[in-house]
Amino acid sequence: MDVKNSEPPRTAVVPNRNDVLKQGSLQSFKTRRFHFDTDVKMKPLCRTLFIQFFADLNFYFDNKYMQEHPIKMKTFAEPFFAEEGDICPHVDSDNPAYSLGKSFDAVALCAETVFGISTLFPWQRLAIANILDAIRAEESIEQQVKTNSHKDPDADCENFERYDQDGILRGRQIVLLPTGAGKSLCFQVPALLLDKPTLVIYPLLALMQDQYRRLKEAGLEPALFRGGQTPEERQHNFSLLKGENGHQKAKLIIANPEILLAGQVLNEIEKIGIAHLAIDEAHCVSEWGDSFRPAYLELASIIKKLNPPAVTAFTATAGDAVLSRISEILFEGRAHIVRGESDRPNISYAVRHCRVKQPALLAELAIRKRPLVIFCATQKETERIAAFLRNTLHDKNIRFYHAGLQREEKTEVEQWFHTHDSAILVTTCAWGMGVDKKNVRTVIHFDPPPTAESYVQEAGRGGRDREAAEAVLLWSPKDSEKLATMSETQQQRSMVLRDFAESKRCRRTVLLHALGEKNAVALNPGDETIACAGCDVCNGTANFFCADEKALCNFVQKNNLLYTSEELVDQLKTRIKYWTAKDFKFLITELINTNILKESDSFFRKKKLTLASSKPKS
């Protein structure tokens, strides 16, 4: 992939407001009126983002201009609302999650308005998403703890969402991007969207000064800590940290390892707390830490002391040995890896629609190659599915893995999986933190992840040896129904997975489009897209109905009003491989509840099953 921007990179400066309006990026702001009702209910983080962004607009455009050209909140703030049904914009698009426009995309709008960057690369999106998701996950856990503090402290955590448990680990990441690919934006953009500041550690004074200059040109006021500062300079930067003496609180803190280890600066930063710690030129950890910059070997102690929700190491040059050393020093060998590539042409995507997932999973395992990874939503689910598969398949080469295991247990499972080519690993998204098994042939999602970014990264666990691999998503109507219970902001990202699963578009195109790869999308109806390297839609094997539902409906149609639910279970439970009586009971109940099947109320055929409509669903 060409890593150069479609537009030449330019110095990030605050755009002139008239030029911005002329270009149209903020044209819609001109004619709208703003009214902020403090009683409007928003999710805490979303509400903060909105208030902060509105404050930033006032800062960039001056108060008088904002009063003359106020913003209509109901239009601007739609994606920030948490209450379902409060605001639900109508959008005509085959991919509604990504067609609301840049004015509804806080990340893209921040990149363009503040730094003058009109397009973010997919890998920038992935890195930024991991940072924001990790911070949101920690906040969610803290809220869960506060909410459940009156309950038994030993109560099971099964009600915690998957990305509240394990998703926070995505915040421990190493980002490998080629020179000029926009690493700085990966921490600059989220820094402006977070409550607490971002600490950026550089190896050289020249890099620190260059970053400081660029941020100042963008209209920001970073705090800079380096050796040789006067007491007045140091005090000025402490004032920026705390927002004292008329200063806005600094969104970014620039420092080097040595000044942090000196003590005073680190203690002051610890007092205010940080949301994100970024380490630029992270290959220095390996290349210099063992020789003339021993302070780099102490970065782990800095991370431990500050304990930020997200820590990111950025580098453009890291072979396997260097990457392993960075991961070992900074993350105890358990780092999430983001590389500067979006499409993985050796991975073939497929979706299997079903009402009952366990039999569908067994059917997939019978035809897929190993080593194989199965992603589940929760820690408890991984243990249940692993036990189910071991008992059903009588196979000892099946284990589970999640963030709740002890360190020794995790290490044992990782070593076992690395050395077995017939292994099946059932896991949450925690797998992959420092684990890089290159020859995984199949990745199956028993439960869908919450976003396209998560799916791309988890499916990308397969085929790291660049040989052919398959990614299979099990999708049920209940997965789609869950989207309706999410907040508007969450739905915008999660709807891409529904588009991926249910639309008849190329699976690869949907994913690449969601990651900002515009070249993967047909410009006009009927136009050819970039040739798909492999998906079930493009190769003609995709089905967009639940095969188990259709088979049962066909059987009921042929045996109309002959069996009750119990009688039908007895008829089928020994006929179909992988299915149990419990599975059939669940399926029949589901179809009755959704008005696909119905029970007769006639006297002679009481509770006998028939189709609710004249034809089975196809």
The H helix count followed by the E strand count for the chain is 25, 15
- The mean predicted confidence, pLDDT, of the chain is 74
Distance CA 352, CA 27 (A): 44
Please report which confidence band the pLDDT of residue 519 belongs to, taking 50, 70 and 90 as the band edges.
low
pTM of the full predicted structure?
0.58
Q: Strands 597-599 and 609-611: what pairing? A: antiparallel
The CATH number given to 347-520 is 3.40.50.300
Comparison of pLDDT for 493 and 259, the residue scoring more: 259
| C-alpha dist (Å) from residue 552 to 136, 205, 577, 605, 609 | 42, 70, 14, 19, 11
Tokens standing for residue 244: 């004292």
How many CB atoms are located within 10 Å of the residue 615 CB?
A: 9
Distance CA 519, CA 304 (A): 42
pLDDT digits (tens, 9 = 90+) for 405-415: 887 898 799 88
232 has pLDDT over 50: yes
Please report which confidence band the pLDDT of residue 616 belongs to, taking 50, 70 and 90 as the band edges.
very low
DSSP 42: B
The reported pLDDT for the residue numbered 451 is 78
598 has pLDDT over 90: no
The reported pLDDT for the residue numbered 238 is 93
The reported pLDDT for the residue numbered 563 is 78
54 has pLDDT over 80: no
For range 116-139, the mean pLDDT: 84
For range 531-547, the mean pLDDT: 83
The reported pLDDT for the residue numbered 410 is 83
For the four alpha carbons of 235, 237, 242 and 248, in that order, the dihedral sign comes to positive
Comparison of pLDDT for 6 and 610, the residue scoring more: 610
Q: Kindly state the percentage of the chain with pLDDT values over 70.
A: 71
Q: Is 328 exposed, middle or buried (0-12, 13-18, 19+ CB in 10 A)?
A: middle
Distance CA 453, CA 496 (A): 10
Distance CA 275, CA 134 (A): 10
The reported pLDDT for the residue numbered 424 is 97
What kind of architecture, by CATH, is found in domain 122-339?
Answer: 3-Layer(aba) Sandwich (3.40)
89 has pLDDT over 70: no
Q: Return the minimum-mean-pLDDT range out of 179-183, 306-310, 458-462.
A: 179-183
Query: What are the structural domain ranges in the chain?
Result: 17-115, 122-339, 347-520, 547-611
440 has pLDDT over 90: yes
Please report which confidence band the pLDDT of residue 251 belongs to, taking 50, 70 and 90 as the band edges.
very high
Name the β-bridge partners of 404: none
The reported pLDDT for the residue numbered 322 is 77
387 has pLDDT over 90: yes
105 has pLDDT over 80: no
Comparison of pLDDT for 432 and 325, the residue scoring more: 325
- Indicate if 347-520 has the same CATH topology as 122-339: yes
3-state helix, strand, coil in the chain (%, to 5): 45, 10, 45
96 has pLDDT over 60: no
110 has pLDDT over 70: yes
Please report which confidence band the pLDDT of residue 58 belongs to, taking 50, 70 and 90 as the band edges.
very low
Comparison of pLDDT for 135 and 483, the residue scoring more: 135
153 has pLDDT over 70: no
Single out the residue of 209, 127, 179 nearest to residue 283, CA to CA: 179
